[in-house]
């Protein structure tokens, strides 16, 4: 085949260090916008960004040139630096992350899920949400290494 064709949509989830509620409502939207700008700056497409005080969700469309671990490393580092500089807050993201593939016919459902994070987390904790994402994706995990 003379050319490459790729459809790589990924639902990314990562939390603040120790899942502390560092992302206040007053700058939540600014952070989400900044995350979208970082994604675009890395030549990927942000499809949805949301979250609450202790974690974020991003739905991104990646290209074949992206290496997931580097993409997340740079996304987290750049956004953490921005928080330090712009908001003058001591801030860190947790080291790990979740990355879940999303088929094209599921994009709209994942977008809605990400958009409804505030409502969603009135009923369920981040820990329970994350366990459920792992289970639905068929990812084996040991609870002692999740947190």
Distance CA 68, CA 74 (A): 10
Question: What residue has token string 């088929």?
Answer: 103
For the chain (147 residues), the mean pLDDT of every run of 10, in chain order, is: 89 96 92 98 98 97 97 98 88 95 98 96 95 96 90
State residue 122's pLDDT score: 94
Distance CA 88, CA 104 (A): 39
State residue 135's pLDDT score: 97
Strand order in the sheet with 8-15: 45-52, 55-62, 8-15, 98-102
In the chain, where the domains are located: 8-145
State residue 87's pLDDT score: 82
139: which residues sit within 8 A by CB, 6+ positions away? none
State residue 5's pLDDT score: 87
Which CATH class name applies to 8-145? alpha beta
- Is 31:83 a contact under the CB 8 Å cutoff? yes
State residue 105's pLDDT score: 98
pTM score of the predicted model: 0.94
State residue 89's pLDDT score: 79
State residue 2's pLDDT score: 85
State residue 147's pLDDT score: 83
State residue 31's pLDDT score: 96
State residue 92's pLDDT score: 94
């Amino acid at each position: 085949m003379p050319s490459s064709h790729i459809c790589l949509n990924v639902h990314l989830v990562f939390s603040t260090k120790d899942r502390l509620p560092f992302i206040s409502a007053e700058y939540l939207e600014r952070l989400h916008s900044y995350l979208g700008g970082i994604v675009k700056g890395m030549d990927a497409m942000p499809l949805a960004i949301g979250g609450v005080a202790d974690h974020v969700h991003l739905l991104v469309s990646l290209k074949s040139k992206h290496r997931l671990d580097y993409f997340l490393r740079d996304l987290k580092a750049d956004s953490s630096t921005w928080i330090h500089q712009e908001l003058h807050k001591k801030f860190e993201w947790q080291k790990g992350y979740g990355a879940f593939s999303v088929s094209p016919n599921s994009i709209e459902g994942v977008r809605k899920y990400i958009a409804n994070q505030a409502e969603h987390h009135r009923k369920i904790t981040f820990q329970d949400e994350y366990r459920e994402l792992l289970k639905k994706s068929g990812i084996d995990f040991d609870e002692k290494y999740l947190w």
